[in-house]
């Protein structure tokens, strides 16, 4: 619910209402790709590169940047005189370390996997005390030598997981953040928070002068948004996903608010835990996933239910009907699996923010249709709690989502299934078959289809919809034309400069 801290607003305060997730669970850049952590990381930390409102790659910390494809070398020149919010210097070593720390933790990540010496260096216990041979610092210049050609390598470094923090704030022995408070390198500083709000104030540095002075994040469950419309003022933007609303609710919201939708570049996915209940049997996973999609069609008749991890603008897309035909299915196993479902308790949980959501309703109806129990989930306060339960094999389902940039879908799908990036994806990312298919991925649509169809048949990673993110407000002039280069613009980019 809205906090009283949001009222009354000050003349410089803009409100950013988040309905897709609960509050952030970590400020460590390595965790910044999680839905709840991502917008906070973008506010607090600079990344080597970022995407501007004009869809150009730019930088707050680099004087220049380039990729020499003939030499397979990335070169950055770091601006002199940069400071963190605590007054300490932001150095080329810190910028290089942001890359090295990600590479050490996730050496198969796109672009990083091509850095010279990365494989051997990432296996050494003392790796974070040094750099791989492919990363070098010379004065203000950081050079990254690759061993293979890479398409569009620079824009990977726009991602929040490459957030720049002082190297001194990471213990090289444990790879854990050691500073009690991480000093901000980005455009904003965190000044206050309550259970439902986070207040940011603009850092007074040259690169932030056109940005809003204050932005307050406010967390509201999607199911509660329609009941709080009277609390939205002319300086408020609601960030959400159409996936969280029935068509009737969305129509009601569109009557009260002005919506701006991003392209349908994101997908929704039901992840099933093979270590829980009858789901060790792939036939029962597939039975559940097929029933889930069927129930969803009934509950949201105006939605197109999907099965492809790739959206329509990408190679490898197949409709649900096409995938059903292409993939071996087990129609005669329904009775056997229904018996297994009825004899097993199926534990599941949801983040409190998802209470009453369309996903909540669909899972309950699916369990009921298959004769499984319990129908009511446990609710946990944060996404971090949910991940812990899922990876600890305490619950059977995890609802997630991600998206692809059309610029480099091959890199994106490899990024999505990078080992050790998303803990909740580990049963997929540690599958040798999926990694083999990713290694063989090329420009042909057939190689993408093989990835798609294998995921569909295994039914661990069950895409069920492609959806648009939206930004909505009572004041249409508040939101500029939004950046389509990435799947989610920075929070300050959804407010017109004032």
- Mean pLDDT on 319-336: 78
CB-based contact 341:372 (threshold 8 Å): yes
pLDDT at 497: 62
Q: Which residues pair with 170 in a beta bridge?
A: 177
Question: In the prediction, which pLDDT does 369 show?
Answer: 93
**Percentage above 90 pLDDT, the chain:** 63
Q: Which range has the top average pLDDT, 18-22, 181-185, 348-352?
A: 181-185
Half-sphere exposure of 266 (CA within 13 A, CB side): 21
pLDDT band at 406 (very low <50, low <70, confident <90, very high): low
Label residue 3 by pLDDT band (50, 70, 90).
very low
Most confident of 6-20, 91-105, 233-247, 433-447: 91-105
Q: Supply the pLDDT for residue 6.
A: 43
Mean pLDDT to the nearest integer, 45-52: 93
pLDDT value, residue 376: 85
Q: What is the CA radius of gyration of the chain?
A: 23
Alpha-carbon distance 60 to 48, whole Å? 8
Pick left, alpha or beta for residue 72 (phi over 0 → left; psi -120 to 50 → alpha; otherwise beta): left
- pLDDT single digits (tens) 215-235: 999 999 888 898 899 999 999
Q: What is the pLDDT of residues 282-320, one digit of tens each?
A: 999 999 999 999 999 998 888 899 999 988 878 888 999
- The enclosing H or E element of 97 equals helix 92-105
pLDDT value, residue 10 = 63
Q: What pairing do the DSSP bridges indicate for beta strands 266-272 and 397-403? A: antiparallel
Q: Which domains does the chain have, with CATH numbers?
A: 4-40+186-262+469-494 (3.40.190.10), 50-177 (3.90.76.10), 266-467 (3.10.105.10)
Mean pLDDT of the chain: 90
pLDDT tens per residue, range 360-393: 999 999 999 999 988 888 999 888 899 999 999 9
Closest by Cα among 100, 129, 133 to 116: 133
Q: Which residues of 133-145 are buried (b: 16+ CB within 10 A; e: fewer)?
A: ebbebeebebebb
More confident residue, 121 or 353: 121
- Collapse the DSSP code of 350 into the 3-class scheme (helix H, G, I; strand E, B; otherwise coil) and give the result: strand
| Region 333-344 average pLDDT | 85
Show Cβ contacts of residue 477 under 8 Å, excluding neighbours closer than 6 positions. Answer: 496
The pLDDT, as a whole number, for residue 8 is: 46
DSSP state of 242: G
Percent of the chain at pLDDT above 70? 95
The answer to whether the Cα torsion of 214, 217, 223, 228 is positive or negative is: negative
The pLDDT of 160-177, averaged and rounded, is: 96
Q: What is the DSSP string of 202-233?
A: E--SGGGTTS-SEEEEEE--GGGGGGGGGG--
Measured CA to CA, the distance from residue 104 to residue 117 in angstroms comes to: 11
pTM (2 decimals)? 0.85
445-458 vs 409-416: helix axis angle to the nearest 10?
30
Mean pLDDT of 403-426: 83
Residue 136 has pLDDT above 50, yes or no: yes
pLDDT for residue 180 is more than 90:
yes
Give the pLDDT mean for 313-341: 81
Confidence of residue 105 (pLDDT cuts 50, 70, 90): very high
What is the predicted pLDDT for the residue at 187? Answer: 96
Q: How confident is the model at residue 487 (pLDDT cuts 50, 70, 90)?
A: low
pLDDT of residue 484: 60
**pLDDT tier at 1 (50, 70, 90 boundaries)?**
very low
Mean pLDDT across 22-27:
89
Q: Report the candidate in 263, 346, 356 with the shortest Cα–Cα distance to residue 311.
A: 263
């Amino acid at each position: 619910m809205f906090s009283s801290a949001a009222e009354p607003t000050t003349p410089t305060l803009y409100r950013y209402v988040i309905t897709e997730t609960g509050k952030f669970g970590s400020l460590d850049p390595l965790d910044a790709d999680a839905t709840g952590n991502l917008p906070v990381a973008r506010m607090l930390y600079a990344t080597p590169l970022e995407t501007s409102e004009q869809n150009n790659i730019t930088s707050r910390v680099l004087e220049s940047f380039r990729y020499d494809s003939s030499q397979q070398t990335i070169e950055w020149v770091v601006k002199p005189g940069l400071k963190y919010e605590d007054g300490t210097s932001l150095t080329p070593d810190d910028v290089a370390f942001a890359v090295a720390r990600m590479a050490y933790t996730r050496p198969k990540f796109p672009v990083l996997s091509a850095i010279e010496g990365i494989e051997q260096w990432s296996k050494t216990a003392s790796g974070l005390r040094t750099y791989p041979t492919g990363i070098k610092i010379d004065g203000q210049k950081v050079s990254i030598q690759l061993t293979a050609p890479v398409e569009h390598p620079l824009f990977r470094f726009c991602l929040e997981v490459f957030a720049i923090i002082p190297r001194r704030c990471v213990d090289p022995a444990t790879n854990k953040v050691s500073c009690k408070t991480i000093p901000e390198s980005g455009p904003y500083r965190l000044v206050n928070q309550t259970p439902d709000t986070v207040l940011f104030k603009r850092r007074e540095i040259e690169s932030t002068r056109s940005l809003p002075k204050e932005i307050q994040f406010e967390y509201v469950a999607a199911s509660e948004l329609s009941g709080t419309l009277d609390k939205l003022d002319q300086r408020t933007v609601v960030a959400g996903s159409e996936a969280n609303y029935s068509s009737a609710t969305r129509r009601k919201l569109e009557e009260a608010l002005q919506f701006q939708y991003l392209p349908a570049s994101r997908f929704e996915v039901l992840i099933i835990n093979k270590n829980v209940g009858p789901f060790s049997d792939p036939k029962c996973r597939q039975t559940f996933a097929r029933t889930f999609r069927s129930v969803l069609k009934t509950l949201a008749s105006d939605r197109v239910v999907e099965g492809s991890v790739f959206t329509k603008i990408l190679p490898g897309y197949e409709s649900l009907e096409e995938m059903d035909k292409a993939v071996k299915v087990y129609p005669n196993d329904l009775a056997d699996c229904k018996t297994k479902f009825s004899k097993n308790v199926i534990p599941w949980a949801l983040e409190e923010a998802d209470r009453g959501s369309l996903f909540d309703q669909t899972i309950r109806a699916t369990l009921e249709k298959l004769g499984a129990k319990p129908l009511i989930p446990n609710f946990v306060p944060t996404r971090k709690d949910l991940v812990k339960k899922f990876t600890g094999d305490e619950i059977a389902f995890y609802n997630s989502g991600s998206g692809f940039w059309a610029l480099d879908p091959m890199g994106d799908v490899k990024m999505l299934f990078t080992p050790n990036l998303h803990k909740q994806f580990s049963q997929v990312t540690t599958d040798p078959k999926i990694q083999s298919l990713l290694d063989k991925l090329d420009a042909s649509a057939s190689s993408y289809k093989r990835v798609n169809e294998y995921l569909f048949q295994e039914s661990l990673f069950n895409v069920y919809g492609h959806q648009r993110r939206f930004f909505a407000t009572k004041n249409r002039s508040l939101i500029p034309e939004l950046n389509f280069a990435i799947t989610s613009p920075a929070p300050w980019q959804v407010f017109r400069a004032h």
